[in-house]
Amino acid sequence: MNFSTIKGHRKPIALLKNALKKKTVPHSFIFQGPSGIGKKMTAQVFAKAINCLDDNNGEICGKCENCISIKNRYTFFPDIRIYRNLNERLWIDRVEILNSIYSGQNIDDSVLEEYAEALKALEECGIILPNPLCGLPHSLLDCIDLNKEILFTKDTSDGSLYIDSQCVEKLSENLKSKSPLAVELFRKLVMLNNYVYNGRLPIGRRGVRGIIQDIYLKPTEGRKKVFIIDNAHNITEEAADALLKTLEEPPNDSILILITSNPRGLLQTIKSRCETIRFSYLEKGDFISLLNEKIPKNEIKWNEVYPFSDGSPGKALGIALFDIERIKKLAFDSLFGDTKDENLLLSRFVEEGIFDERTGNGVEKIDFFLTCFRKILRDIIFFKKGIEDDSALPDEIVEKLRNFSESKLKKLEDIFFKSCQLSDKLDRNFNTQLMVEEFLLQLSAY
C-alpha cells in the first residue's frame, strides 16, 4: 500500500508528498470530493507515510518496522483509527485482505475459492447479509453488508454502537467448523468496524469525545496518531462544536483527517481550521484502468458506464447492477411520456425498483436515476442551444425537440436544477420519500 497504488488524484497526492518532504504536515485536513473516488484510501496511505520511519522525500519505504506493520488497509496499527458510517458501503479487496491473512503466501485460484466458501459461511451464520455485489465471479471486490442486529450492541449511555467481545467469540466458535478462513475474515471485519457510527457521529465516548480524549495521548508505535473520520459531514452539531476546541489547540503528536463528499455539511469554523485537499472525479483512462484491474474478465463496458458515474468507481460498481437502458427510458418517459400524473410516475419508480414506496429506501438507485436524468437534460439543452457534443439523442426525441419553445427549454433548465437540489438533500439525509414525491410533483407539472 503506497501512493503509486492510487489511480488518479495526482495533484492531491503531490501536495501531501510535498508536505511530508518539507516536514510541514498540518494538524488537521479536510479531504473533499465526490464519493467513491478514493479519498479514504488516500488518507490511509497518507497515514502510513506519516508513520514511515525512513525520511524518503515523502515516499513510503515499505521496509521499516512501521511500514511492515501497516502492510495494507486490513492490518491493525494502534495509532491509526478510522471512523466509518455503518450506513455506507463496506468494500473489501479480496487479494489485499487475503494478503493480510496469508502473509507471504501466493494468492492463487485455490485460495480465492476458499475465500468464496468463507463468505458463504459468514452469510450462513447471519454475520453478513446477501448482497448482489458480494461474491461476483471474476471480481476482486466485494460489497459487505454487515448484519447490524446480530453484530452490534447499543450503548445505553449515548446510543452508540459497538461490537461486544463476547459476541465475537461466540460467532467465531460457530464459524470454526465451517471454515477456518471465515474466522480470520470475520476478525478482519470486526477490526474494520472498531469505530463506527450509525448515520450521525455522536459526541459520546465512542464518538467525538473518544477522539478528544485519545488525540492528546502519545503514539504507541508510530510517529503520529492519525484519526480519520469518513463522511465527516455526518457529525452532529453538538459533536462538531466539541471538536472545534481541539482544532483550535491541536496536539503535536496527532493528525485529524475529515473526509467528506458534502463540505457544506461541515461548520465554517471547522473548515477554516483545516487544510483542505480537493479531490476530483477520475479521468476516463484511470477510471477504466482501475475497474478492469479490480473486475477482470468481465463483460461490463466501463466506457459506457463512465458518463453516468460522475467519474466515481464506487458509483460505477453500483450502476453495473442496473439496466442502464431501462433507467434511461424511464428518464425519457418522465419528460416526454404520455402521462404526467405524479402517482403514475411514482408507480413506475416502484416498478423499476428505484424506489421502495413502503420504506422510502433506495437512495443509491434514486441518485443513479437523477444522474441519468441530468445527463439527458444536459444533452437536450446542448442540442437546443446548438452546442456540439458527442452525445446522441434518440431520433424520436430529436423530432419532438424541433418545435421546442424557449419557454419549455427554460422549464427544462429549472427541472435540471431541481434535480440537483434533490441530490443535495438526499446527501444531507433529508426525508427520502418526501423529497422524491415533491420532485415528481414538480416534474408532473412540467
Tell me the per-residue pLDDT of 42-68, one tens digit each, with 9 for 90 and over.
999 999 999 998 877 788 988 899 988
Q: What global pTM score does this model have?
A: 0.83
Q: Domain 3-86+195-278 belongs to what topology?
A: Rossmann fold (3.40.50)
Q: How many whole angstroms separate alpha carbon 209 and alpha carbon 193?
A: 18
Residue with grid cell 457510527, as numbered in its chain = 197
Residue ranges of the chain that CATH labels 1.20.272:
322-445
Q: How many whole angstroms separate alpha carbon 17 and alpha carbon 110?
A: 38
User: 344 is written with which cell numbers?
Assistant: 403514475
Position with higher pLDDT, 382 vs 338: 382
Do 316 and 306 touch, CB atoms closer than 8 A? Answer: yes
Q: How many whole angstroms separate alpha carbon 182 and alpha carbon 168?
A: 13
Query: Would you say residue 254 has pLDDT above 90?
Result: yes
Residue ranges of the chain that CATH labels 3.40.50.300:
3-86+195-278
Amino acid letter, 405: S
Residue with grid cell 408507480, as numbered in its chain = 347
Q: How many whole angstroms separate alpha carbon 318 and alpha carbon 173?
A: 34
- Residue 163, strand partner residues: 152
User: 414 is written with which cell numbers?
Assistant: 429549472
Confidence of residue 360 (pLDDT cuts 50, 70, 90): very low
Query: Would you say residue 391 has pLDDT above 60?
Result: yes
Q: Residue 145 carries which DSSP code?
A: E
% of the chain at pLDDT higher than 70: 87
pLDDT tens for residues 184-197? 999 999 999 988 88
Q: Are β-strands 275-278 and 28-32 bridged in parallel, bridged antiparallel, or unpaired?
A: parallel
Q: How many whole angstroms separate alpha carbon 123 and alpha carbon 107?
A: 23
pLDDT of 361 = 46
Q: How far, CA to CA in Å, does 129 sit from each of 66, 124, 151, 179?
A: 35, 9, 12, 18
User: Region 249-268: what's the mean pLDDT?
Assistant: 91
pLDDT of 429 = 57
User: Region 234-253: what's the mean pLDDT?
Assistant: 88
Q: Three-class SS of residue 227? A: strand
Query: Would you say residue 302 has pLDDT above 60?
Result: yes
Confidence of residue 87 (pLDDT cuts 50, 70, 90): confident
Q: Domain 322-445 belongs to what topology?
A: Zinc Finger, Delta Prime; domain 3 (1.20.272)
Conformational region of residue 135, where left means phi above 0, alpha means psi within -120 to 50, and beta covers everything else: left
